[in-house]
Structure 1
Amino acid sequence: MNRILSLYMPALLLFMLMIGCKKDNFEKPAALLSGRVVYDKEAVGLRSNGVQLELWQSGFELFSKIRVYVAQDGAYSASLFDGDYKLVRLRGNGPWVDNTDTIDVKVQGNTVVDVPVQPYFLVRNNTIEKSGTTEVKATFSIQRIADGRALESVSLFVGRTNIVDAVNNQGSAVVSAGNIPDLTAPVTITMNIPAGLAGQAAFYARVSVRTAGVAEQIYSQPVKIE
């Protein structure tokens, strides 16, 4: 038995070495596709990894999608091989008017492609600051961009880190649309600083707008409160 093993051992080692070389020589994606989700060339604020895009590449045995998640500042990126791709905005996946038209993308090295969208509303001219020592106050304007859906509510979120949204927060305050009679006037939201943040040297806050019948919200960029 030992003699048989000794006879086959060199061949086994050679086989394992060949497999190892193939793994080491496996080509990894060397190109980077990146960009922003934008309206009028301005990045939109979103929930961290709450919205995704899809990339499709044809011409291969398997025609499968590549999920690409969008960061809260509207930026996205994906490591890819050079080639021709189709980028898709998913129906019902973002706080904007559905647009499922594909965007043809030619990836060659580092490629930058912004993805245009049409939000229903945007947050404008936002100011978030402490009010005294126990409260946070946000003042901002709501700009309607697209018709077809009503405003549902606006919110103020606070958290320990700059990743703060409807899912990641230490506290929030919501004002329903019924309490905002005039969308052309500035909106103010005030909330008590949560106990978990009261002793912090700094924390973060941002405001959002929710459209009726739309799952995701449009956000302002996070503000550091000291």
Structure 2
Amino acid sequence: MKNSKYFIIAAFVVLFLSSCKKDNYDAPAADFTGRIVYRGEAIPVEFDQVPFELWQSGFGNNSAIRVSVAQDGSFSAKLFDGNYRLVFSENQGPFLWRKNSAGRQDSIALNISGSKVMDIEVTPYYMIRTPVFAVAAGKVNASCKLEKIITDAANGKSIEKVTLYTNKTQFVDGNNNNGIQELSGTAIADLNNLSMSVNIPTMVPAQNYVFARIAVKIAGVDDLLFTQVTKLSF
């Protein structure tokens, strides 16, 4: 009985030490940062709605690491050193991602050895050019031009709508806004001359500034293309 008692105690000690060893593994320390870009220009999107995936073989782990993209098109992730494959899921983002010879989503080989900064090049369906925001007579007025980047018949798409959003905080999108005006794609006569306006609502508590951005909804594409957020004082 005494030997059995000592054996049980020893087993508990081994299990405890094993548990502590697992809990004391080093956390990922490498910073992987960058932007989603087209020809060096960041692609603004809706916060946390256009993630990409990092896959790492081995270690008994076949799941992907999901990396969020911020409103301004930037991203940041903490990783272990090693080799990864970077890929966007099918139909993810207001852009086309590269395809492999089989016509499937291609991936980028990525080696992490210490911190790494890298921009990820994509091909957007459109780009929003020369956005201008101004406040006058209790309204936010905005104008811009749209450049169609993908023009071939197989992949080119039309515009479903263009929207001006305002909000009292710097998070501005379809779910976070206090003012909105939509312009239907069928109502757009000239891609080089778009204008919209939104009444500035009463805000509680009161503040003398508002944030604004323009979004483009592309037909058949879930994720919107945005301008950067602009702060306007009045």
Taking structure 1 as the reference length, what is the TM-score of the superposition? 0.89
TM-aligned CA deviation for residue 97 of structure 1? 2.0
Counterpart residue type for residue 62 of structure 1: N
Paired with 2:108 and 2:117, the residues of 1 have a C-alpha distance of: 13
Aligned length: 221
Using the alignment, how far apart are the partners of 2:141 and 2:204 within structure 1? 15
Q: 1:154 to 1:22 in 2, by over 3 A?
A: same
Q: Which structure 2 residues correspond to residues 26-105 of structure 1 after superposition, within 5 A?
A: 26-99=25-98, 100-105=105-110
- TM-fit CA distance, 1:11: 4.9
CA distance in 2, matches of 1:206, 1:197: 21
Q: Which amino acid aligns with 2:160?
A: E
Whole-Å Cα distance in 1 between the matches of residues 16 and 56 of structure 2?
A: 33
Amino acid at match of 1:152: E
Matches within 5 A, 1:121-200: 121-132=126-137, 134-147=138-151, 148-184=156-192, 186-196=193-203, 199-200=206-207
- SS of 2:123's partner is coil
Deviations 1:28-49 (A, max 9, x none): 1121211111000111110011
CA change 1:10–1:101 in 2 (3 A) is closer
Taking the aligned partners of 1:34 and 1:66, their CA distance within structure 2 comes to: 14
1:93-135, Cα deviation, whole Å (9 max, x unpaired): 1001243210000001101221111111111111111122x21
TM-score by length of 2: 0.86
Distance 1:176 1:20, change over 3 A: same
Contact 1:122/1:209 (<8 A) preserved: no
2: CA distance, partners of 1:8 / 1:225: 72
Choose 165-174 or 47-56, whichever is displaced more. Answer: 165-174
Superposed structure 1 runs of 4+ greater than 6 Å apart: 6-10
**CA pair 90-10 structure 1, distance change in 2 beyond 3 A:** closer
Q: How big is the shift at 1:200?
A: 1.9
Distance 1:123 1:196 in 2: 29
Name the counterpart of 1:117.
122
Task: Give 5+ residue unaligned stretches, structure 2.
Answer: 99-104
Cα deviation digits, residues 176-214 of structure 1 (max 9, x gap): 122211113x21101111233793221210011111111
Q: What per-residue deviation string (whole Å, max 9, x for no partner) do you get for residues 55-90 of structure 1?
A: 001133222211111111111121111111000011
Deviates more, 1:190-199 or 1:7-16: 7-16
Q: Which amino acid aligns with 1:123?
A: I
Rounded to whole Å, the distance in 2 between the matches of 1:108 and 1:125 is 39
For structure 1, the 5+ residue unaligned runs are none
After superposition, residues 17-28 of structure 1 pair within 5 angstroms as: 18-19=17-18, 21-28=20-27
- RMSD, aligned CA: 2.3
Quick one: which amino acid aligns to residue 29 of structure 1?
Answer: P
